Copies of this chain bind each other. A is one copy, B any other.
Amino acid sequence: MWWDERLSGEIHTNEASTSSPAGGKGKAGKPDKKAERAAQRGKSAAAMTQADPSDPLKDQYGDTELVASQANSHRVWSQIEACSPSKEGEKLLLRGRVHTVRGKGKSCFLVLRQRTSTLQLVMFADDKVVSKGMVKYASLLPRESVIDVEGTVFVPKDPVQGCSQSETELHVISIRCISRAEALPFEVVDASRSEQQLKAADTQLVTVAVDTRLENRCIDLRTPANQAIFTLQSKVCQLFREALTAEGFTEIHSPKLIAGASEGGAAVFKLDYMGQPACLAQSPQFYKQMALAADMRRVFELGPVFRAENSNTHRHLCEFTGLDFEMEINEHYSEVLDVLDHLFVYMFNGLRAACAKQLAVINEQYPFEPLEYLPQTLRLPFEEGIKMLQEDGLDVDPLGDLNTEAERRLGALVKAKHHTDFFILYRYPLAIRPFYTMPDPTDARWSNSFDVFIRGEEIISGAQRVHDATLLTERAKVHEIPVDSIHGYLDSFKYGMPPHGGAGVGLERVVMLFCGLDNIRKTSLFPRDPRRLSP
């Protein structure tokens, strides 16, 4: 049987390390030997796009013409997951990428990739099903090219190493390239390695610098961890909306182009709007409140938020996705906290249930501890947080804001005492909150506000808002905001305004901190920071 013959040749393993150059530890993205080799491969591959016309099996391989809706054959393309042992002997057609390819003499082993799934493709020239030309054609296919492959499902004696589909492989009958990849700036397998693998002393692996990844984000995003991160991100949005819709919230879409200077401050992108000065909304804050002035009772919005801050940190972006909600309250802003608490516990439970596979995939490249959280979220007064920090020996201003270090420390103290990575800190000093925050009715040094923390990092900010037009105008003046610049907002409070509160969350931060990732650029599809505006 020809299957066994291959064993007499070199054993194929699909471990990622086989793709790295034999040379020393390189840095992808710089012109080095690796890139030269890749370029070379690109060239030689370009030379073999069609079958040898004299090959009796010439119809079984070669590049297809540009797929431009010539045919509508209703053929069925399968997913890798469908190639189960129960399909043994069946012919299947699949489309995917050339993840790795390794030709040697009369044999060729490819790994086909579809998102986070991989399947081994086997070719061995027998001149009946597979010709030598076919093996050569396949062996020269550039990695990351998109191919159509037809083959027979086969169950090997031993599991296939390094493929997600380990119980089966596909014995190729025909192989056609749909879209050829040029020489890659870096390899997906190199970009997929964990810190642990890279640090291991006995390996000499290529690392891919963050800037190289972001510069070539479409390739970087193909790694299993990134595929999982953005599937998870999509799920966060779905769960957020599900929970709020079930509680009677209406989705709104507020304008991002606004007159004047948004909420004030310098961190605003300015532009010309048909001859009028305009800016990009720093949050949907004003508009979600105006939606309540318009009787919408409970609203939420998912949308872009723009901050022209020159903050080059692991947690700031100039454009991110805001998850915002705003709701009428009857009496107390604890009603907002009730909604928030339920919302996030629902989201965390939902992610654990629906994204177990994605979390495992992310964990492989970026190991993290699962988020610890309570069925009912801990609510800690700000003053008590200050006391915990002071008792721990940190010098903190009881009426000032917490800096990053203090937040981290508090997160650790809360985790030790209450066994949760997720908690609410409420009743912040008034002076450090936005002008529209409702002062505490018993002591004007404080306010009806809160922040929420995950793993010691602030993730949500919220409050009861001032709903009285006169007080709101006063508060804006205290904060030295030119009242004229926000008159549209202030006016909306004059015609009867229900008491209300709400909160805003950054989607990218939720995903980053839920997964314990170290940089917000990892959770933004095409990140925008002070230095990066493309791709």
List chain A positions with a Cβ less than 8 A from chain B: 66-73, 75, 77, 95, 97-98, 113-115, 142, 144-146, 178-182, 184, 216-222, 226-227, 230-231, 233-234, 237-238, 241, 245, 250-260, 269-274, 276, 278, 280, 287, 290-291, 293-297, 302-304, 306, 308, 310, 318-319, 321, 328-334, 438-442, 448, 464, 467-469, 471, 488-489, 491-492, 494-499, 507, 525-526, 528, 530-531, 533-535
B contact residues around A530 at 8 Å (CB): 274
- Is the pair B287, A255 in contact by a Cβ cutoff of 8 Å? no
B contact residues around A534 at 8 Å (CB): 258-260, 488
Asked if A251 meets B273 with Cβ closer than 8 Å, knowing A179-B467, A221-B295, A496-B97, the reply is no
- Give me 25 A-to-B residue pairs in the complex whose CB atoms sit less than 8 angstroms apart, sorted by A's number: A67-B499, A68-B438, A69-B438, A69-B440, A70-B441, A72-B334, A75-B330, A97-B295, A115-B295, A115-B296, A178-B499, A179-B468, A222-B294, A226-B294, A231-B250, A237-B251, A257-B306, A257-B318, A257-B533, A270-B271, A274-B308, A274-B310, A303-B304, A488-B535, A489-B535
- Is the pair B115, A535 in contact by a Cβ cutoff of 8 Å? no
**Count of chain copies:** 2
A533 and B72 CA atoms in complex are apart in Å by: 48
In order of increasing CB-CB distance, the 5 nearest A-B pairs are: A488-B535, A221-B294, A271-B271, A181-B496, A68-B441
- Is the pair B68, A496 in contact by a Cβ cutoff of 8 Å? no
The listed residue (B179, B280, B294) touching A217 by CB distance below 8 A is: B294
B contact residues around A142 at 8 Å (CB): 496
- Is the pair B526, A287 in contact by a Cβ cutoff of 8 Å? yes
The listed residue (B179, B181, B304) touching A256 by CB distance below 8 A is: B304
What is the distance, in angstroms, from A185's C-beta to the closest C-beta of chain B?
8
A125 and B511 CA atoms in complex are apart in Å by: 60
A297 and B95 CA atoms in complex are apart in Å by: 11
| Nearest neighbor of A464 in chain B, beta-carbon distance | B69
The listed residue (B72, B146, B308) touching A496 by CB distance below 8 A is: B146
B contact residues around A250 at 8 Å (CB): 230-231, 234
What is the distance, in angstroms, from A418's C-beta to the closest C-beta of chain B?
23
Asked if A95 meets B498 with Cβ closer than 8 Å, knowing A467-B179, A489-B535, the reply is yes
- Is the pair A333, B69 in contact by a Cβ cutoff of 8 Å? yes
A259 and B526 CA atoms in complex are apart in Å by: 12
What is the distance, in angstroms, from A351's C-beta to the closest C-beta of chain B?
15
| Nearest neighbor of A493 in chain B, beta-carbon distance | B179
The listed residue (B252, B255, B306) touching A230 by CB distance below 8 A is: B252
